[in-house]
Structures are given as structure tokens and as C-alpha cells.
Amino acid sequence: MRNIFGQGAAFALALLLAACSGGDAAKGAGDAGKPIVVGFSQVGAESEWRTANTTSVKAALAEPEFRLKFSDAQQKQENQIKALRSFIAQRVDVIAFSPVVETGWESVLREAKAAGIPVVLTDRAVKVSDDSLYATFIGSDFVEEGRRAARWLLEDSKGRAGPVRIVELQGTVGSAPANDRMKGFREIIDADKRFAIVRSQSGDFTRAKGKEVMEAFLKAEEGIDVLFAHNDDMAIGAIQAIEEAGLKPGEDIRIVSIDGVRGAFEAMKAGKLNATIECNPLFGEQLAGLIRDVAAGKPVPRRVQVAEGVFTRDQAEAELPKRKY
Ligand code: GZL
């Protein structure tokens, strides 16, 4: 452009044009007019919990200040790594993801850091050598959820003689919720010699696999007293297997599970599930706030927890109409 003005005037004109045209020079992510581009990699759609979590996240990031690029990994780590690499190539402003398993993230997170893209962990945590590879983690305390399941069982077993023979449906192998719920549950029941876990196998957080593994447990084990399921979907699948074996779920075999989804309240109302430990998926708004702050370069807490409770069979009927997921 021929300089028909003085040098200073040309520079001012360039800034003014950039500000009007929305060029990069005048705006950062999230400034008025320029949306925060968020790459979100979700585990999959394996359970009622996951579906509710996706709905909550998508609703919060549908606001005009965000532009969401959403990827469903179908519970495969390689799909999540591919999605994260694609977000990096597209130079999104923030990456958020729920890691399907705890390990194997070091290199892709280093690539995000090298690209200057902050990462927010949602729902599940990762094990990495360098905590600076992610800005913050919002999710539940899975160890405490395992402890709460065991505390319910001890309370419900007052006055019962041992042995109390427990079978356990684990979540996805290597996932933070499976590892931590297992740990928390054992921390409490190991203190009482009446309790023994006689079988423990993964049902991968799905109803179908939960039913299949419970069928195998029932064939292999006489006298199962309790099922501890790492999520309600596997418990609901196991309930079908227990009934098909001619036993009464909730009576012949007491069942405690985790999530607090609608299906669990319906099963408790029917007397087939004894207790569910809430694991709140509805943190979309909190996540949006963290992403907004991270995009603006503001400090955020390293760990953000979600509030949750414990619900038993006798509360189910009154609670069901209030449930939001
Ligand atoms: C827990 C979440 C787990 C749920 C399952 O925060 O990661 O994954 O408990 C879901 O229902 O599949």
C-alpha cells in the first residue's frame, strides 16, 4: 500500500482495520467477537452417565462465546489421541477431554503444550510425570465413591454374621474411576473380616457386558450375597442376569452401584437395587467457566470437585421426580 500518510498514521490505520476486520492482531481468544474455540474429546456413549455428561457439556459450550469441536472416541484411547492431535493441528484455543484410561497421554499432552494450547481434564484424571501438562481437573473423587459404597454395605450388614461373599463388576480396565473405586471400596471392607470379594472382573461400564459377566459369576460361584458394581449401567445389566437365574436382585443378592442415574432410581423403586452412590455428570457450566478463565490466561484451581450424595432404596420414590439425569 503506497504510504500516503506519515508512518505513525499508517500503523494506526492498520490497527484500526485489524480491530474492525477481527484480525488476530486486535483480538485474543474470548475477546468480544472472537469465540473461544474448544476441542472436546469425550470417552464415548457407554452409559446413562456419559450421555448426561455429554448433554451438560454441549449445552454449556453452545453459548456464542464458544465454538465447540466435539469428538466421541467410542471408548478407544487411540481415537482420543487422534482427536487431540487434530485439535492441535486446527490450533484450537483450549483442549478439554475425559481420558478413557489413566496412562499413555504424555507425548500428545507435550505436543499440546509445545503448541501453546492449554488442556483441561474433565471427569477422569491422567497419570503424567509433569503436572504442567494440564491446567486443571474437574471431576469426582472416585476413591471416596468406593468408600461410600463400602460404608453403605457395612451399615446394611449390621447384625449379619459372615461370610458376606461379594462379586465386583469393575469399570473400564485402567480407567481412573475403576482403579479408584476399587481402592476406596477395599480400604473400608478390608477392616471387617466378614467380607470377602470372591470374583472381580471388568464389565467396561456397559449394561451388556455387566449382564454377561454377572452370568459368568452366577455360574461359577455358589451363594453370592452382594454385587458391587462400579456403575449403575453394569448393575442394571446384572439385575437381568440375576432374575434370569431365578434369584431376586436386591433381596437374594444385595446390590450397591455408583452414578445415581435415572435407571438406578427406577431399579431401587422396584426393589431390585439397594443403593446408588451419586457421581454427578452435570458439570458443564463449571467446565465452561474454567475454559473461559484458561483461555483468558487467568489462574484456575488445579482441582475442582463436584458435589454428590448417597441414595438408598427407601428414598427412591421421593427422589425420582427430582433427578436431572
Ligand atoms: C465417572 C465416569 C464413569 C461413570 C460411568 O465419572 O467416568 O464413566 O461412572 C461412565 O457410568 O461410563
Cβ–ligand 1 distance for 124 under 6 Å, the answer yes
Going by C-alpha positions, the residue among 40, 43, 42, 41 that lies closest to residue 206 is 43
Which CATH number does 142-279 carry?
Answer: 3.40.50.2300
- Give, using CA atoms, the residue closest to atom 6 of ligand 1: 123
Going by C-alpha positions, the residue among 109, 175, 182 that lies closest to residue 145 is 182
Return per-residue pLDDT of the chain as tens, 325 residues.
333 344 445 444 544 444 433 334 334 566 667 999 999 999 999 999 999 999 999 999 999 999 999 999 999 999 999 999 999 999 999 999 999 999 999 999 999 999 999 999 999 999 999 999 999 999 999 999 999 999 999 999 999 999 999 999 999 999 999 999 999 999 999 999 999 999 999 999 999 999 999 999 999 999 999 999 999 999 999 999 999 999 999 999 999 999 999 999 999 999 999 999 999 999 999 999 999 999 999 999 999 998 899 999 999 999 999 999 9
Cβ–ligand 1 distance for 50 under 6 Å, the answer yes
Which CATH number does 36-140+281-306 carry?
Answer: 3.40.50.2300
How many other CB atoms are found less than 10 A from the CB of residue 307? Answer: 8
d(CA 290, CA 304): 9
Cβ–ligand 1 distance for 231 under 6 Å, the answer yes
Contacts of 11 (CB under 8 A, 6+ apart): none
pLDDT tens across 6-26, in order? 444 544 454 444 443 333 433
pLDDT at 32: 64
Cβ–ligand 1 distance for 180 under 6 Å, the answer no
Q: Specify burial of residue 321 (Cβ count, 10 A radius: 0-12, 13-18, 19+).
A: exposed
pLDDT tens across 305-324, in order? 988 999 999 999 999 999 99
Domain with CATH 3.40.50.2300 in the chain: 36-140+281-306, 142-279
Q: Which of 42, 43, 46, 47 to mutate to test the pocket of ligand 1 (most atoms within 8 A of CB)?
A: 47
Going by C-alpha positions, the residue among 172, 169, 149, 148 that lies closest to residue 98 is 172
d(CA 54, CA 58): 6
pLDDT at 33: 76
